[in-house]
């Protein structure tokens, strides 16, 4: 009997061992999330996903993270841990607490790393997107963390001292910078990340902050760094069982995710 190859589409869900999880922060909050593991084998590496601004529609189901969880356990042998930071809601549910502009979220990041560590997940990488990159730089330099991948880093909340700490650590940092980013474009990113000598700045031609239409490129670049033994580009077809995820719950929030809503950075917060 001939096995049929099916194209992997935006809503394709490949096999994985998926578990709804709860994270418990040091300041007493319960955060909701999901852990997706390879369907059979132990993971070769782990992604802890830190999502974009919840005030702008960011959540654990923001499309790049959703696709990572739906595809990478099967295609690349990765564990993908996603969660809603404090005050953030998605189909999975609402995490306790309220958005804290990067301050209280330090406990959220610590709780996620701790969960991955206690679960004996290997080679923990932080995967931040937009606001999640600031959380990564500000609060993610933990002994258990191997390195960081930053998607569309605005460097809005992170300060020079945070970059200096990563520089001193020597841990790998890769920043994927869209050519037409709304906040930080490749030339400026090269200048800003020069403070981290080991940082790799990767311009992505034609891409924008939301990575709409470029998720496959992003996933390939992630896998290239966290699982170098896996061939990229990743397959665009799948021969095994595959289901369809419901994308209707996410569409409006993806479109509105980065509307021009003012968010105070560190200097503005200090002036308040």
d(C-alpha 183, C-alpha 192), whole Å:
13
| Higher local confidence (pLDDT), 215 or 267 | 215
For residue 151, tell me if it sits in a domain. Answer: yes
Span 80-92, mean pLDDT? Answer: 97
Average pLDDT over the chain reads 92
Q: Note whether residue 132 is domain-resident.
A: yes
Mean pLDDT of the region 64-83: 98
pLDDT tens by residue, 190-245: 999 999 999 999 999 999 999 999 999 999 999 999 999 999 999 999 999 999 98
pLDDT attached to residue 250: 62
Structural domain that includes position 165: 6-271
Q: How many domains does the chain have?
A: 1
Q: Is residue 29 part of a domain?
A: yes
- Give the tens place of pLDDT for each residue, 158-205: 999 999 999 999 999 999 999 999 999 999 999 999 999 999 999 999
146 has a pLDDT exceeding 50: yes
Token couple for 18? 């998926």
246 in Cβ contact with 70 (< 8 Å): no
φ, ψ dihedrals at 68, nearest 5°: -60, -45
Over range 38-55, report the average pLDDT: 97
The pLDDT value given to residue 249: 63
Examine the pLDDT at 270 and tell me if it is beyond 50. no
- pLDDT of amino acid 251: 56
In this prediction the pTM is 0.91
Q: What is the predicted pLDDT for the residue at 255?
A: 45
CATH of the domain at 257: 3.40.50.1820
Q: Residue 1: inside a domain, yes or no?
A: no
DSSP H/E element including 239: none
| Residue range 25-54: mean pLDDT, rounded | 98
């Amino acid at each position: 009997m001939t096995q049929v190859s099916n194209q992997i589409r935006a809503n394709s869900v490949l096999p994985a061992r998926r578990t709804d999880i709860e994270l418990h922060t040091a300041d007493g909050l319960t955060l909701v999330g999901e852990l997706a593991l390879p369907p059979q084998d132990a993971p070769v590496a782990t992604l802890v996903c830190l999502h974009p601004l919840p005030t702008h529609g960011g959540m654990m189901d923001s499309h790049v993270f959703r696709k990572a969880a739906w595809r990478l356990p099967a295609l690349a042998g990765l564990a993908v841990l996603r969660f809603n930071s404090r005050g953030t809601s998605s189909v999975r549910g609402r995490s306790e607490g309220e958005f804290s502009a990067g301050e209280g979220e330090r406990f959220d990041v610590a709780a996620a790393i701790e969960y991955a560590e206690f679960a004996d997940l290997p080679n923990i990488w932080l995967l931040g997107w937009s606001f999640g990159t600031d959380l990564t730089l500000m609060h993610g330099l933990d002994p258990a963390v191997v390195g960081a991948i930053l998607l569309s880093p605005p460097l809005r909340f992170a300060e020079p001292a945070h970059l200096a700490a990563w520089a001193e650590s020597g841990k790998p940092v890769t920043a994927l910078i869209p050519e037409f980013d709304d906040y930080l474009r490749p030339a400026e990113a090269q200048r800003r990340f020069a403070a981290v000598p080991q940082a790799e700045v990767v311009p992505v031609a034609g891409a924008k902050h939301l990575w709409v239409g470029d998720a496959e490129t992003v996933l390939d670049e992630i896998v290239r760094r966290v699982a170098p033994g896996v061939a990229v580009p990743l397959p665009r077809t799948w021969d095994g069982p595959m289901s369809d995820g419901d994308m209707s719950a996410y569409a409006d929030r993806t479109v509105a995710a980065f509307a021009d809503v003012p968010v105070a950075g560190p200097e503005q917060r200090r002036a308040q």
